[in-house]
């Protein structure tokens, strides 16, 4: 009887450990458990600096974009899709495109105006029936067209780690974010983004789990 009880306890213990390990692995995969971060130096990668300083603040564009993205997410925007007569959200809410828009605006690039002008001059490139300056720049599909035609087009192969730099823009089929200057153990960069209301961290290790990358761009 005692042996039976001991065996039962052992089996139950093993099952509990397996279930716990499974739950932890899922939480880790979904970035609810933070991943260890590495820098460019850990992989002997030279940090890219743009030769352009659009807003003449003494900070190159690449660094400026990344700094302003971090400033934006530090305000802890809540995920909610809304229309704004101001174009840019003026409250506590935002979506994925706003991460990019606020990052660029802080570096001297007003995406709302830039995309509006590009759409007007290149209607054939966009699938837009009625131009709306206040919302068109907050749609992923429009931003991909805009960046593809105005920015530096880079590789979508995440294994070419030296070609991915903090401040770059990464576009997925239905999502967009800014490439972080932090990397995972394989050198793949994290992404600063805003995907849903349940996201715990704005900076996440997601690229290796995505098969829908359609664009990778650099402003200057």
Nearest in space to 145 (alpha carbons), one of 130, 128, 162? 128
- In a shared domain, residues 16 and 61: no
- In a shared domain, residues 53 and 11: no
- In a shared domain, residues 127 and 182: yes
Q: At what angle do helices 140-150 and 111-121 cross, to 10 degrees?
A: 80
Query: pLDDT tens digit string along 85-116?
Result: 999 999 999 999 999 999 999 999 999 999 99
Distance CA 151, CA 144 (A): 10
Nearest in space to 137 (alpha carbons), one of 97, 167, 168, 108? 97
Phi, psi of 103 (to 5 degrees): -65, -45
Distance CA 162, CA 65 (A): 19
Contact status, residue 184 vs residue 205, Cβ threshold 8 Å: yes
Confidence of residue 79 (pLDDT cuts 50, 70, 90): very high
- In a shared domain, residues 166 and 63: yes
Go through the chain and tell me how many residues it has. 220
- In a shared domain, residues 72 and 101: yes
- In a shared domain, residues 41 and 3: no
Question: Domain range holding 6?
Answer: 1-30
H and E: helices and strands count for the chain:
6, 8
How, if at all, do strands 93-94 and 78-79 pair? parallel
Contact status, residue 123 vs residue 117, Cβ threshold 8 Å: no
Contact status, residue 81 vs residue 134, Cβ threshold 8 Å: no
- In a shared domain, residues 62 and 23: no
pTM of the predicted model as reported, rounded to 2 decimal places: 0.90
Contact status, residue 78 vs residue 26, Cβ threshold 8 Å: no
Residue 1 predicted with pLDDT over 60: no
- Predicted confidence at residue 135, as pLDDT, reads 98
Query: pLDDT tens digit string along 15-63?
Result: 888 888 888 778 777 788 889 999 999 999 999 999 999 999 999 999 9
SS3 192: strand
- In a shared domain, residues 60 and 8: no
């Amino acid at each position: 009887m005692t042996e039976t009880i001991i065996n039962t306890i052992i089996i139950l213990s093993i099952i509990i450990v397996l279930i716990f390990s499974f739950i932890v692995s899922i939480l880790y995969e979904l970035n609810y458990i933070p991943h260890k971060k590495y820098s460019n130096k850990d992989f002997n990668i030279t940090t890219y600096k743009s030769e352009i300083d659009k807003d003449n603040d003494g900070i190159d564009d690449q660094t400026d974009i990344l700094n302003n993205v971090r400033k934006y997410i530090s305000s802890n925007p809540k995920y909610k899709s809304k229309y704004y007569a101001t174009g840019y959200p003026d409250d506590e809410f935002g979506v994925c495109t706003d991460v990019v828009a606020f990052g660029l605006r802080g570096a001297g690039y007003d995406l709302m105006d830039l995309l509006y002008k590009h759409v007007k001059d290149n209607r054939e490139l966009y699938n837009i029936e009625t131009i709306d300056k206040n919302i068109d720049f907050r749609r992923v599909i429009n931003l991909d067209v805009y960046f593809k035609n105005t920015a530096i087009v880079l590789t979508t192969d995440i294994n070419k780690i030296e070609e991915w730099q903090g401040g770059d823009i990464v576009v997925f089929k239905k999502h967009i974010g800014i490439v972080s200057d932090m990397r995972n153990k394989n050198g793949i960069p994290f992404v600063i983004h805003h995907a849903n209301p349940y996201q715990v961290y704005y900076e996440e290790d997601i690229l290796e789990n995505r098969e829908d990358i359609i664009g990778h761009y650099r402003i200057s």
